[in-house]
Amino acid sequence: MPRVQEHPNHPEGGRKYGAFQTEIYKNGILDNKLPTVTTDPNKLEEQARHHLGARSFNYVAGGAGEKATMDANRLAFRQWKMIPRMLRPTTHRDLRVEIFGQKLESPLLIAPVGVQTIFHHDKELGVAEIARETGLPYILSTASSSSIEEVAEANGDGTRWYQLYWPQDHEITKSLLRRANSNGFKVLVITLDTWALAWRPADLDNAYVPFASGIGDQTGFSDPAFRAKFAKLYDNKTPEDDIFLASRQWEADVFSGAAHTWEDLDLIKAQWNGPIVLKGIQHVEDAKRAAEMGMHGIVVSNHGGRQLDGAIGSLEVLPEIVEAVGDKLTVLFDSGVRTGVDVIKALCLGAKGVLIGRPFVYGLAVGGRLGARDVLRGILADLDQSMGLAGIRTIADCNRSMIRRVQYGGDTISSH
């Protein structure tokens, strides 16, 4: 397997991510080698479509209902425009940040995306590896097709967080948290908006849910508490003895259709000894409640439009949430991010970090781990270069003075 090239160091510290642009031109001019994965964010989804079967493509590209929430996410970004400043010392940018005491190379984080094996055989292990080499935190989904332990090994000394789809069974929840904690996952991200699957026509029309056949269930199948429960319920069977039965049991625990409550967070707090982040916050009152409950952070997110159709675009509510709780906890952002400029806009509106989801999956589909790497390097390069062109030298310089809300009648969504 070819080794991923390290980014050159920034002369003043940090990585010079913008150098990826020069690398692309150099490869083309000197070696007649073009990028494997398109650098055009409006063509990336379509390129991935040609590398995936209908079921796999629809699973990642599809959304809830008529995709109104997905549209809202992209339209929200179009309503904010950059206001560049000139004659500033931005020749060298510094993208480094600190989140939850962790010193990070950039404000980008790899969002938790499940069942990555349906996109490429490199799956989570390949992405966890390039996350380390690219300097990005990797957030592992509970719906992974690789175990917690396998991903930790692949990620090595990288930064990794664990995303929890919250089981109803407390013993299984505690077991998952113990495993994540003991394998170097430093931050817990609890997804609140997916205790049941949404109405997703792209999956429904193919009658496809990967978990039903054991795909994306590896976290459960490898968990001691789940295996013990399964054996007790089904005459000492193991998940390997009956994949379909085990899949149904795991789904019943994780996507049970029964919602948790705020009071249930006390169990999590008692079991996890690091920062806890709630993902799926879109209402100011929920953000305030998270702060009152002692949460360390939130992710302003609508699950990329995959859960509630007709919901507000996440960027639309980001400013008011930051104003309400930004001094009490760390506000992160995802949903609809496609470019480096999108990242700048979210940062200017108060986010401290930004999660990238579908784009890296499309890159994974096109070129495996190296395809995912190049998509992420492209977004980082765009972020780096665009900061310089906008007159922004550091992430701390991303503020409201750099953007303005302008609603042009001709603005339309670019891509999902």
Residue with the two structure tokens 């948790």: 260
- Mention every residue, 6+ apart, whose C-beta is less than 8 A from residue 329: 290, 291, 295, 296, 297, 298
Please give the single-letter amino acid code of residue 165. Y
Q: Is 303 a catalytic residue?
A: yes
Radius of gyration of the chain (CA): 21
Compute the C-alpha angle 254/258/264, nearest 5°: 85
Residue with the two structure tokens 């394998």: 183
Is 186:159 a contact under the CB 8 Å cutoff? yes
Instruction: Give 221-225's long-range contacts (Cβ < 8 A, gap of 24+).
Output: 221/246, 221/250, 222/147, 222/148, 222/149, 223/172, 223/175, 223/176, 223/179, 224/175, 225/169, 225/171, 225/172, 225/174, 225/175, 225/176
Tokens matching residue 128: 């966890």
For residue 210, give the 3-state DSSP assignment.
helix
Q: Is 101 exposed, middle or buried, given 0-12, 13-18 or 19+ CB atoms closer than 10 A?
A: exposed
Tokens matching residue 321: 């949430």
Cα–Cα distance, 397 to 89 (Å, whole number): 12
Cα–Cα distance, 213 to 176 (Å, whole number): 21
Please give the single-letter amino acid code of residue 92. H
Residue with the two structure tokens 């490429």: 120
Is 15:9 a contact under the CB 8 Å cutoff? yes
Q: Is 312 exposed, middle or buried, given 0-12, 13-18 or 19+ CB atoms closer than 10 A?
A: middle
Cα–Cα distance, 352 to 398 (Å, whole number): 10
Handedness of CA 281, 286, 290, 296 (dihedral sign): positive
Tokens matching residue 169: 């069974």
Q: Which of 51, 120, 296, 303 is catalytic?
A: 303
Catalytic residue annotation: 303
